[in-house]
Chain A
């Protein structure tokens, strides 16, 4: 057991899975010699050599396109998009082939691959380095989307993603990369994909979030509990697609109130999908409308304005209070 940050925890998962399975290949821009611009893949080249850790030319579509070929031939590529903002260049390959090959051939060919990408705001980065576009990928049939929130679940979910038989977009909240450490077991730990986690039980309101937004969400819950003596149930989605709405629905049937906290723009996003599913399955239990506390439907501003656009603890507190007082 060691105290690791998310970068180290993901690195540990990569080391252990590559050790275990020689079909696992890591490729991307600057992932080998440089160890990745965020150092997620550090040490892999030394340990596994250039046959398994590939610095690719600079072309996102080809990183995914060649990985699709590798996966169809039986390998398990784990590729890195240097930033999620560059991943749209691979969207053609991803939508047209990675997500469809199983359906196209009734499973004769499959594409077991992981696309890791840092995403989200809060690190004062250049344009295209701060967006949260998980819904873009979650909307595609055949794609799985995973977003860890801390070192321990990042490690355990990445292992599951690498072993999954289908393409998984593994979105890493880069604001959380080095923000805090957690105990991460040395031995293998796997968390099933498609399962959300109740991180705190409660009876008065269900608070749902994922990724980097878990931190302001947890803080806000603690503040409201302290201030009003409220009992809040907190759910970390962990997998965005397939979305485990059963855990959320079960919680809402108990609490009757729900706030979903999401960094991404509001419209057509995960919080809207969750709201719809709560309406489908728990409508009669609701004491208040499900509240979506989200980013705005604007083009992500440069980092000079970033802070005022990201959902933060005071906004979450306000949303919880509004929903409690409805």
Chain B
């Protein structure tokens, strides 16, 4: 028998607003001035908070954290396209998306300063899942959440983020496979920022694209310019529609660049060049989006200045709240191991409190 081709696949790339601010008008989404400006304001706020956090960390006022700068055009358009009942399952570079979903600015400050209180939302119905520090686990949680929402008959889709490094984890593959078999209403977004700490994209996977990993599981996929908020808006809208119509999961590879260090404990000069970083800075999303808005006549320097002032005020207000005294108790963890009484934990709780007193007396 001659060999014959039995399947053929292709991967598309979507870009609408390029790094020079050049627009493909045919693909431009129909977003109103208000919607576009809302998107831009969130992006500026996320950038402003991120920059402030880096200063706080360097001053010893905040713990180690992973900066988000340069990746605002991914999670913000995504979160803006989501509905209230949708689940937002982040990795750890979705600060903007979390803010859009309603997470207070202080939450991320508490979280990265070592307080579980940063995970606690004003209301569980915000449907934001806490960060999974272990890379990739959240993919499977998202599949379970989306399965549960369909089982309960909710009009709800789940959006789950992961990084390029995360796509090497077994959970990524197991989760995609489950999602496809279950036709789960979920959208997977890979923030391909080219670097997983010191490992470059080409050492992470031999795939030509990350998007094509969806093909292996029977999941429609798309590569998007992740620094282009318009393209991200189009991609997520299509994917959420598929999910809501019962057509199953989608995999979106959002191509971006990690402009900063992995976390504040990392030093990228050890493994990449200044030239590479400088080149990436020219492509970052805020420059092109600002130009686009100005070209449309929606924006000008005076508005920009006013916005930067607003962002600064909001961020400073959050920092003030973050640094205000709290009555959070040291023995809190004893109350949240189980939802039922536990004799040994109660005994150790007493012991812990006695130690606190002993230490206080000791001076």
Whether B116 and A73, one on each chain, are in contact in the complex, defined by CB atoms closer than 8 angstroms, is no
8 Å CB contact of A68 from B121, B134, B140, B337: B140
Whether A62 and B175, one on each chain, are in contact in the complex, defined by CB atoms closer than 8 angstroms, is yes
Looking at A2-10, A51-59, A196-204, the stretch in contact with chain B turns out to be A51-59
Distance between A280 CB and nearest chain B CB, rounded to angstroms = 10
Whether B142 and A69, one on each chain, are in contact in the complex, defined by CB atoms closer than 8 angstroms, is yes
Distance between A32 CB and nearest chain B CB, rounded to angstroms = 13
List A257-273 residues whose CB lies under 8 Å from chain B: none
Residue of B nearest to A192 (CB): B340
Decide yes or no whether A74 CB sits under 8 A from chain B: yes
Residue of A nearest to B175 (CB): A62
Residue of B nearest to A62 (CB): B174
Decide yes or no whether A206 CB sits under 8 A from chain B: no
A111-142 vs B, CB cutoff 8 Å, 1 = contact: the mask equals 00000000000000000000000000000011
- In the bound complex, CA of A166 to CA of B341 (Å): 12
Q: Which residues of B contact A70 (CB under 8 A)?
A: 144-145, 147-148, 151
Looking at B98-106, B124-132, B355-363, the stretch in contact with chain A turns out to be B124-132
Distance between B144 CB and nearest chain A CB, rounded to angstroms = 2
Decide yes or no whether A295 CB sits under 8 A from chain B: no
List B157-209 residues whose CB lies under 8 Å from chain A: 170-171, 174-175, 177-178, 181-182
* A61-B140 contact, Cβ under 8 Å, with A70-B147, A105-B120, A106-B332: yes
Distance between A191 CB and nearest chain B CB, rounded to angstroms = 14
8 Å CB contact of B340 from A64, A164, A244, A245: A164
Q: Which residues of B contact A104 (CB under 8 A)?
A: 116, 119, 130
- In the bound complex, CA of A48 to CA of B342 (Å): 35
Q: Which residues of B contact A62 (CB under 8 A)?
A: 140, 143, 171, 174-175, 177-178
Decide yes or no whether B139 CB sits under 8 A from chain A: yes
* A242-B344 contact, Cβ under 8 Å, with A70-B145, A142-B338: yes
Q: Which residues of A contact B119 (CB under 8 A)?
A: 104-106, 108
List B312-363 residues whose CB lies under 8 Å from chain A: 332-333, 335-340, 342-345
- In the bound complex, CA of A246 to CA of B145 (Å): 39
Whether B336 and A165, one on each chain, are in contact in the complex, defined by CB atoms closer than 8 angstroms, is no
- In the bound complex, CA of A212 to CA of B179 (Å): 38
- In the bound complex, CA of A59 to CA of B120 (Å): 31
Residue of B nearest to A105 (CB): B119
How many cross-chain pairs have Cβ atoms below 8 Å apart between A and B? 146
* A102-B174 contact, Cβ under 8 Å, with A61-B140, A62-B143: no
Whether A65 and B338, one on each chain, are in contact in the complex, defined by CB atoms closer than 8 angstroms, is no
Whether A65 and B343, one on each chain, are in contact in the complex, defined by CB atoms closer than 8 angstroms, is no
Whether A61 and B171, one on each chain, are in contact in the complex, defined by CB atoms closer than 8 angstroms, is yes
Q: Which residues of A contact B146 (CB under 8 A)?
A: 69
Q: Which residues of A contact B333 (CB under 8 A)?
A: 103
Decide yes or no whether A67 CB sits under 8 A from chain B: yes
Residue of A nearest to B178 (CB): A62
Decide yes or no whether A243 CB sits under 8 A from chain B: yes
* A243-B181 contact, Cβ under 8 Å, with A74-B148, A97-B141, A102-B336: no
Q: Which residues of B contact A142 (CB under 8 A)?
A: 337-338
Whether A66 and B149, one on each chain, are in contact in the complex, defined by CB atoms closer than 8 angstroms, is no
- In the bound complex, CA of A108 to CA of B339 (Å): 11
* A73-B181 contact, Cβ under 8 Å, with A65-B139, A96-B134, A105-B130: no
Distance between B147 CB and nearest chain A CB, rounded to angstroms = 6
Whether A243 and B344, one on each chain, are in contact in the complex, defined by CB atoms closer than 8 angstroms, is yes
Decide yes or no whether B274 CB sits under 8 A from chain A: no
- In the bound complex, CA of A66 to CA of B68 (Å): 28
Decide yes or no whether A72 CB sits under 8 A from chain B: yes
Whether B339 and A75, one on each chain, are in contact in the complex, defined by CB atoms closer than 8 angstroms, is no
Whether B141 and A65, one on each chain, are in contact in the complex, defined by CB atoms closer than 8 angstroms, is yes
Decide yes or no whether B152 CB sits under 8 A from chain A: yes
Whether B143 and A93, one on each chain, are in contact in the complex, defined by CB atoms closer than 8 angstroms, is no
Decide yes or no whether B137 CB sits under 8 A from chain A: yes
Whether A72 and B178, one on each chain, are in contact in the complex, defined by CB atoms closer than 8 angstroms, is no
Q: Which residues of A contact B332 (CB under 8 A)?
A: 106
A81-97 vs B, CB cutoff 8 Å, 1 = contact: the mask equals 00000000000110011
* A93-B337 contact, Cβ under 8 Å, with A72-B144, A106-B116: no
Q: Which residues of B contact A194 (CB under 8 A)?
A: 340, 342-343
Distance between A67 CB and nearest chain B CB, rounded to angstroms = 6
Instruction: Tell me which of B87, B116, B117, B333 has the highest count of chain A C-beta atoms within 10 A of its own C-beta.
Output: B116
Instruction: Tell me which of A77, A92, A164 has the highest count of chain B C-beta atoms within 10 A of its own C-beta.
Output: A92
Residue of B nearest to A113 (CB): B144
B41-81 vs A, CB cutoff 8 Å, 1 = contact: the mask equals 00000000000000000000000000000000000000000
- In the bound complex, CA of A108 to CA of B133 (Å): 18
Whether A75 and B148, one on each chain, are in contact in the complex, defined by CB atoms closer than 8 angstroms, is yes
Distance between B106 CB and nearest chain A CB, rounded to angstroms = 16
Whether B141 and A72, one on each chain, are in contact in the complex, defined by CB atoms closer than 8 angstroms, is yes
Residue of A nearest to B143 (CB): A66
- In the bound complex, CA of A267 to CA of B138 (Å): 34
Whether A97 and B132, one on each chain, are in contact in the complex, defined by CB atoms closer than 8 angstroms, is yes
8 Å CB contact of B336 from A71, A103, A144, A243: A103
Q: Which residues of B contact A105 (CB under 8 A)?
A: 116, 119-120, 130
Decide yes or no whether A304 CB sits under 8 A from chain B: no
Q: Which residues of A contact B340 (CB under 8 A)?
A: 164-166, 193-194
- In the bound complex, CA of A141 to CA of B338 (Å): 9
Q: Which residues of B contact A164 (CB under 8 A)?
A: 339-340
Distance between A138 CB and nearest chain B CB, rounded to angstroms = 12
Decide yes or no whether A31 CB sits under 8 A from chain B: no
Whether B338 and A166, one on each chain, are in contact in the complex, defined by CB atoms closer than 8 angstroms, is yes
Q: Which residues of A contact B116 (CB under 8 A)?
A: 103-106
Residue of A nearest to B336 (CB): A103
Further contacts, 10 of them, CB under 8 A, given A66-B140, A97-B141, A106-B117 = A56-B181, A57-B174, A59-B178, A61-B171, A62-B143, A62-B175, A64-B140, A66-B147, A71-B144, A166-B339
Instruction: Please list the 6 inter-chain residue pairs (A to B) with the smallest Cβ-Cβ separation, ordered nearest first.
Output: A69-B144, A65-B140, A165-B339, A73-B148, A62-B174, A66-B144
A interface residues, Cβ below 8 angstroms from B = 25, 51, 54, 56-57, 59, 61-62, 64-75, 77, 92-93, 96-97, 101-110, 141-142, 144, 164-166, 193-194, 242-246
14 A-B pairs in the complex with CB atoms less than 8 angstroms apart: A66-B175, A68-B141, A69-B142, A69-B148, A70-B144, A92-B134, A97-B137, A104-B116, A106-B120, A165-B339, A193-B340, A242-B338, A242-B343, A243-B344
